Amino acid sequence: MSKVQKIALIGFMGAGKSTVAELLSKHLKWQVRHLDDEIVAKSGLSSIGEIFTTYGEEHFRNLESEVTASMQELNQVIIATGGGIINRHSNMVHLQHNYGAIIYLRVAFETVRARIGDSSNRPLFADPAVALTLYNQRLSIYERYADLIIDTDGHSQSEVCGKIIREMKL
Ligand code: S3P
């Protein structure tokens, strides 16, 4: 794979996208953008939980699409997406057209569950049974859009970062 200048990390909640994005950013000296943070900033509210309870998921998804579309001017950037970015094909088409690589951080549901438990800032993980259904529905969708799949179970986040650098020849 040739050298890329823009990377989007995708994967389920708790896959380590934000931490790995920070590690990659330090290593490559590229900027990092966390879509969830940008969404909260754009919403005028204080958290993702608040966006969901005040305006509902559809509003959150609209903001997510707007923020995704606003990232196209950036270069030498790693973006950490939210786990549901794959809900809209248009988001993924945008990433495919504007990003050098979409990297899927694959993780087992049990790892995620142990890692994040029932987080109040992850409305879609409030009920683990619902989250498991979502996880099973999404697995093949992440795979479909990924240029590179990294299995993260049993690996530290710095190992995951190292794997990406090697595989992408960065
Ligand atoms: C979501 C994942 C979250 C956040 C929101 C919805 C999802 O991001 O965007 O709670 O639909 O999977 P993380 O993947 O960073 O937890």
| CA gap 61, 69 in Å, rounded | 12
Percent of the chain topping pLDDT 70: 97
pLDDT at 1: 47
Compute the average pLDDT of residues 132-140: 97
pLDDT at 119: 65
Pocket of ligand 1 contains residue 10 by CB under 6 Å: no
Q: How many CB atoms lie within 10 A of CB 26?
A: 11
Least Cα distance to 101 among 150, 140, 138, 34 occurs for 150
Compute the average pLDDT of residues 126-131: 91
- Joined together, the tokens standing for residue 112 give 């995620």
| CA gap 33, 97 in Å, rounded | 18
In which element (H, E) is residue 105 found? Answer: strand 101-106
Given ligand 1 and candidates 39, 122, 134, which is best to mutate, with the most ligand atoms within 8 Å of its CB? Answer: 122
* d(CA 40, ligand 1 centre) in Å: 12
Compute the average pLDDT of residues 126-146: 96
pLDDT at 116: 86
Instruction: Please report which residue ranges of 29-169 form alpha helices under DSSP H.
Output: 35-43, 48-55, 57-69, 89-98, 109-116, 128-145, 157-168
Three-class secondary structure of residue 7 per DSSP: strand
- Joined together, the tokens standing for residue 165 give 């650098």
Pocket of ligand 1 contains residue 84 by CB under 6 Å: yes
- Cα-Cα-Cα-Cα torsion 33, 117, 11, 105, nearest 10 degrees, comes to 100
Compute the average pLDDT of residues 50-68: 97
- Edge-to-edge strands of the sheet including 31-34? 31-34, 77-80, 6-10, 101-106, 148-151
* d(CA 95, ligand 1 centre) in Å: 17
Single pTM value for the model: 0.96
